[in-house]
Amino acid sequence: MAVSIEILQTSSQTKARLGKLHTPHGVIDTPVFMPVGTQATVKAMTPEELQAMGAGIILSNTYHLFLRPGHELIAASGGLHKFMHWDRAILTDSGGFQVFSLGDMRKITEAGVSFRSHLDGSSLFLGPEEAMQIQMALGSDIAMAFDECTPYPSTYEYTKNSMERTTRWAERCLKAHHRDAQAVFGIVQGGMYRDLREESAKALTALDFPGYAIGGLSVGEEKHLMYEVLDYTVPLLPSAKPRYLMGVGSPDCLIEGVIRGIDMFDCVLPTRIARNGTVMTSQGKLVIRNAEHFNAQGPLDPECDCYTCRNYSRAYIRHLFKAEEILGLRLTTTHNLHFLLNLMAKIRLAIKQDSLLEFRAEFFAKYGYR
Amino acid sequence: MAVSIEILQTSSQTKARLGKLHTPHGVIDTPVFMPVGTQATVKAMTPEELQAMGAGIILSNTYHLFLRPGHELIAASGGLHKFMHWDRAILTDSGGFQVFSLGDMRKITEAGVSFRSHLDGSSLFLGPEEAMQIQMALGSDIAMAFDECTPYPSTYEYTKNSMERTTRWAERCLKAHHRDAQAVFGIVQGGMYRDLREESAKALTALDFPGYAIGGLSVGEEKHLMYEVLDYTVPLLPSAKPRYLMGVGSPDCLIEGVIRGIDMFDCVLPTRIARNGTVMTSQGKLVIRNAEHFNAQGPLDPECDCYTCRNYSRAYIRHLFKAEEILGLRLTTTHNLHFLLNLMAKIRLAIKQDSLLEFRAEFFAKYGYR
């Protein structure tokens, strides 16, 4: 099997688990946060910088790479790893999330989704077979099944029909997939409806994927709803296989997700807010453009030992943002990724020491629950 | 003396000289190219990256730092070196070039220049005393005298009056300056008029500056005119002091400048064209957005050993530019700075081996004369 998880320890307090994710491009400690490299680059970072921060796996987007530069070019370049100079693991999404987000510019049928490119308006099609072909060409370590991420809120009927189609698409993905050094993960859908989640999980586990994602969360619902869905959905997934909560990356959701048994996360949040000048610190979020930092000689976070915090003052970083200098984006992106990767390392240590609930209480006492 | 040059060797073929520039922040091999960090950052680079490329001195802009974030903040932050986390040498210009470029937004008097900020339109004033105060607050290793860089073309009368005022301003700069760990360089003006250059050089050398710049070149004149001015101006400067040709950075001008006895150069060219997707290679310039590079698996320059050329294909860098990714700017900036710093290292070696004319012939046979 191309990808598997080895569970080293489980929490006695929660459903959290400490593990090692084995992939064709290395072994990754779990629970893990995967930085997002949408267009074959984690924005503003080099691969070496990500590695120095301890990133062992990143996510890249099938939709974007399909449109530009095209998966054929990437295959001709020796695959995505070689193309982007990243020799650790890569997970690619299926493109489903992006094409469904196109609204009026897409049409869903049983075959798949017809849509117009957001770049040049050209007519394109993506279905389960195409999603597999593209991801096989990219050569990621983990490919995701082609699914519909139902919006929130959605009616029971819409969610049920969509989930059943996602299940049929999952079968077609497995049939179309033939690349040994790549695993395909199934994606449980079913919105906020418990019986639909149960039905989805049952049908997908019967297909025996090497890993499972929970999709359709972090789509605008209140957080307690997300946690409720995780509470009843995670136990339906095989404990011997990796579990991935898609699109989640705020500190509270990472901790609560781990507590509910999730092994893998991804989110554009830390890199996106960084480019907007917002950083996560041990004392909560900080907006570097604010006037209060004009003459602030201290680092972004006094408890942080990242490259940015070791070498630069808030006053300087604020200046870089006011002056629209590229180094500003680099420094905040470095800090935010370090912050989340370091948070995951602390979470793993807390699982090991069986003190995850204490860790959560301590963390949120300083950070605030958000 | 805060700054001095030690001449190790002179070329028997040309006026080129190999030296060591001693500054309060290190010793720099000359002839040297200084990357430009206009707003207290060399665009897209970290200080560590510049150091790894061998940069020992950078230039920063008094006008920009005066406007934003203000020299008081930088002084309160411990000076420009500490503010921007750069512990090697810094040369600051005087702000003159930028305020004179403001056209209708500035007014020149004997006292100095009244102008409006390009950021918020506020009324400001910069004269010799202010330029010294600001540069003393910044704490650069080399401060430049406040001068007018006369545009090209300018009449004899305008150029003469301007040059004479620049000389009076130079005297006021020396009077206003009192910072031991900082040298002030005088700037020879006089446009394309030989007698005015002679007059300027004579008056300024009488003031005994620790170093001299040649200003008012690379302002739109044809290159043979620049070389002519260098031919007759450089010999008027004291051979025991550093000579700096301002605003020059294309490979041909660097080589021709060194041949005429110049020790120091600066230019935004390599970093600016890099952000536009143009790179300098051993075979000449290359525009990475061009369709011909779509599937180009080779590096920007097969003869280059910079970080970019060791790790990335032209196809990938082209993709980054088409997708407007920050990493694209980082990779081309890295390459262009490496290219020019490496060119200077080769020039120094050629002086040492007394084969500079042969080096020039070989270089231009491949690069093209531009």
Q: CB under 8 Å to A211, separation ≥6 — which residues? A: A3, A5, A142, A183, A185, A186, A241, A242, A243, A244
Q: CB under 8 Å to A82, separation ≥6 — which residues? A: none
Cβ A294–B39 below 8 Å, yes or no? no
Distance of alpha carbon A333 from alpha carbon A314, whole angstroms: 14
Cβ A323–B85 below 8 Å, yes or no? no
Mean per-residue pLDDT, A260-271: 97
Q: Which of A122, A123, A117 is nearest to A102 (CA)?
A: A117
pLDDT value at position A370?
61
Considering CB atoms only, which of B45, B318, B320 is closest to A41? B320
Mean per-residue pLDDT, A298-306: 98
DSSP state of A101: T
Cβ A319–B43 below 8 Å, yes or no? no
Choosing from A93, A147, A263, A301, the catalytic residue is A93
Distance of alpha carbon B258 from alpha carbon B263, whole angstroms: 7
User: A-chain residues within 8 Å CB-CB of B76?
Assistant: 295
pLDDT value at position A154?
96
Q: If DSSP states are collapsed to H, E and C, what string results for chain B?
A: CCCEEEEEEECCCCCCEEEEEEECCEEEEECEEECECCCCCCCCCCHHHHHHCCCCEEEECHHHHHHCCCHHHHHHCCCHHHHHCCCCEEEECCCHHHHHCCHHHEEECCCCEEEECCCCCCEEEECHHHHHHHHHHHCCCEEECCCCCCCCCCCHHHHHHHHHHHHHHHHHHHHHCCCCCCEEEEEECCCCCHHHHHHHHHHHHHCCCCCEEECCCCCCCCHHHHHHHHHHHHHHCCCCCCEEECCCCCHHHHHHHHHCCCCEEECCHHHHHHHCCEEEECCEEEECCCHHHCCCCCCCCCCCCCHHHHHCCHHHHHHHHHCCCHHHHHHHHHHHHHHHHHHHHHHHHHHHCCCHHHHHHHHHHHHCCC
pLDDT value at position A368?
86
**Residue A284: strand pairing partners:** A281
User: B-chain residues within 8 Å CB-CB of A312?
Assistant: 85
Q: Model pTM?
A: 0.98
pLDDT, tens digit, 9 for 90 and up, residues A51-61: 999 999 999 99
Cβ B323–A295 below 8 Å, yes or no? no
User: A-chain residues within 8 Å CB-CB of B311?
Assistant: 85
Distance of alpha carbon A132 from alpha carbon A114, whole angstroms: 16
DSSP notation for A252-271 = HHHHHHHHTT--EEE-SHHH
Mean per-residue pLDDT, A243-256: 97
To the nearest whole Å, the CA of A44 is away from the closest chain B CA by 5
Considering CB atoms only, which of B84, B85, B313 is closest to A77? B313
ipTM surpasses cut 0.85: yes
To the nearest whole Å, the CA of B88 is away from the closest chain A CA by 15
To the nearest whole Å, the CA of A334 is away from the closest chain B CA by 12
Mean per-residue pLDDT, A63-78: 98
Using an 8 Å CB-CB cutoff, list residues of chain B that contact chain A.
39-41, 43-46, 64, 68-69, 73, 76-77, 83-85, 294-295, 297, 311-313, 315-316, 318-320, 322-323, 325-327, 329-330
Residue-averaged pLDDT of chain A: 97
pLDDT value at position A280?
97
Residues of B marked as catalytic: 93, 266
Is A93 one of the annotated active-site residues of the chain? yes
Cβ A40–B316 below 8 Å, yes or no? yes
Q: What is the pLDDT tens value at each position of chain B, 370 positions in all? A: 899 999 999 999 999 999 999 999 999 999 999 999 999 999 999 999 999 999 999 999 999 999 999 999 999 999 999 999 999 999 999 998 999 888 888 999 999 999 999 899 999 999 999 999 999 999 999 999 999 999 999 999 999 999 999 999 999 999 999 999 999 999 999 999 999 999 999 999 999 999 999 999 999 999 999 999 999 999 999 999 999 999 999 999 999 999 999 999 999 999 999 999 999 999 999 999 999 999 999 999 999 999 999 999 999 999 999 999 999 999 999 999 999 999 999 999 999 999 999 999 999 999 987 6
Burial class (CB in 10 A: 0-12, 13-18, 19+), B63: buried
Q: Are the C-beta atoms of A282 and A274 separated by less than 8 Å?
A: no
pLDDT, tens digit, 9 for 90 and up, residues A145-185: 999 999 999 999 999 999 999 999 999 999 999 999 999 99
**Residue B264: strand pairing partners:** B32, B244
pLDDT value at position B370?
61
Mean per-residue pLDDT, A306-318: 98
Q: In which region does residue A277 sit, left (phi positive, over 0), alpha (psi from -120 to 50) or beta (all else)?
A: left
pLDDT, tens digit, 9 for 90 and up, residues B258-301: 999 999 999 999 999 999 999 999 999 999 999 999 999 999 99
- Residue A176 sits at the vertex; the CA angle it makes with A170 and A182, to the nearest 5 degrees, is 85
To the nearest whole Å, the CA of A39 is away from the closest chain B CA by 7
Mean per-residue pLDDT, A300-328: 98
User: B-chain residues within 8 Å CB-CB of A319?
Assistant: 39-40, 68-69, 73
